[in-house]
Amino acid sequence: MTLHGLRSITIGVPDVPSAVAYYVDFGLTHSTSGNRTTARLSTTDGGEQLELVHAPRRHLASLTVGVDDADDLDRATASLTRLGVGVHRSETALVTADPVTGVQVRLKVAPRLAAASAPAPGYNAPADVVRDTSRAPGVLRETRVRPRKLGHVVFGSTDQPTTERFFTEGLGFKVSDRIPPFAAFLRCSTDHHNVLVQQAPFPLLHHTSWQVDDVDEVGRGASAMLAKDPARHVWGLGRHHIGSNFFWYLKDPAGNFSEYYADMDCIVDDQLWTPQDWTDSRALYSWGPPPPPSFLEPEDLAELMIGSHSG
């Protein structure tokens, strides 16, 4: 695979300072200061991966994907041109935009991220005691939960098939699984998915997802967020069937959902993975509480649609 990872995203929000405060509580590090119209925040392994910019309404403005070299840019340029999509090319980057949603995508020559390894948690199981006369590490942790990297972004398109072709046939993303005819899980790395494109009546950002070490960090992170503001809760704790990851979703002040996740499926060899279609409850989750209506249809959808027409 010539693409090697989702490097960063830019989100438009009406109130940058309140969004910054939320994502700092979420565990990101604010790497810029003194500006009320733009801010950048970092993860521990990925560096600056979230940019917040002032906008009249919340939306996904852009995303950046890492590639190995200029040959990768050449291939993407040729593929996008065949699709009739415009491209701006430099020696080290390619900038284009999804013709349906307007989301800008930048392919950038960049080194692959090197993540620091985390020790595997020692879980006791029947007839297999690996943690003898000691408490579980997860209950002894006192440090703040800090996301390791940006994992994926989910957004809606009014023409899902065209947006999917833009990412797959144009940019080179791979299909991991589908929820026909509504959504496709797409990857630009070995993670099960880095982009999920779903059919929607309006091109809105649904959620961003941030990797933490294990299920204890998912629970600890969400618990700390809710202790400060219970209204942030959306859905969790649970485990997805597609991707297999543990999840907990929260809501930022602009209305975007953000997810802590751990234990995502990885696809190291494309030849050994067969994408599947999912049409039952496993399309949403394997176990956990049922998703609230607001997760399936964000409460501000009508407001966003009206705002887009009036603007």
Q: What is the mean pLDDT of residues 267-282?
A: 96
In the predicted structure, residue 299 carries a pLDDT above the cut 80: yes
Q: How confident is the model at residue 33 (pLDDT cuts 50, 70, 90)?
A: low
Placement of tokens 């989100």 in the chain: 11
For the chain, state the CA radius of gyration. Answer: 19
At 17-29, the pLDDT tens digits run: 999 999 999 999 9
Closest CA to 189 of 42, 68, 51, 50: 68
Burial 278-290 (b: 16+ CB within 10 A, else e): beeeebbbeebee
Q: How confident is the model at residue 103 (pLDDT cuts 50, 70, 90)?
A: very high
- Tokens matching residue 281: 């409850």
In the predicted structure, residue 279 carries a pLDDT above the cut 70: yes
At 177-191, the pLDDT tens digits run: 999 999 999 999 999
At 230-254, the pLDDT tens digits run: 999 999 999 999 999 999 999 999 9
Q: What is the mean pLDDT of residues 36-44?
A: 93
The region of weakest confidence among 34-43, 56-65, 153-162, 251-260 is 34-43
Quick one: pLDDT at residue 308? 64
CA distance 255 to 237: 20
CA distance 18 to 81: 40
In the predicted structure, residue 133 carries a pLDDT above the cut 90: no
Closest CA to 212 of 110, 111, 292, 121: 121
Quick one: pLDDT at residue 8? 98
Give this prediction's pTM. Answer: 0.95
In the predicted structure, residue 34 carries a pLDDT above the cut 70: no
In the predicted structure, residue 114 carries a pLDDT above the cut 60: yes
Going along the chain, which residue ranges are E strands? 3-13, 29-30, 38-43, 47-54, 59-67, 88-89, 93-97, 104-109, 149-157, 174-179, 183-187, 195-199, 205-211, 233-239, 246-251, 257-262
Q: What is the mean pLDDT of residues 120-135?
A: 89
Q: How confident is the model at residue 208 (pLDDT cuts 50, 70, 90)?
A: very high
In the predicted structure, residue 118 carries a pLDDT above the cut 90: no
In the predicted structure, residue 309 carries a pLDDT above the cut 60: no
Q: What is the DSSP string of 186-255?
A: EESSSBS-SEEEEE-SS--EEEEEEE-SSHHHHHHHHHHHHHH-GGGEEEEEEE-SSS--EEEEEE-TTS
Average pLDDT score, the chain: 94
Q: Quick one: what percent of the chain has pLDDT higher than 90?
A: 85
Quick one: pLDDT at residue 301? 86
Question: Which is more confidently placed, 294 or 310?
Answer: 294
Q: How confident is the model at residue 229 (pLDDT cuts 50, 70, 90)?
A: very high
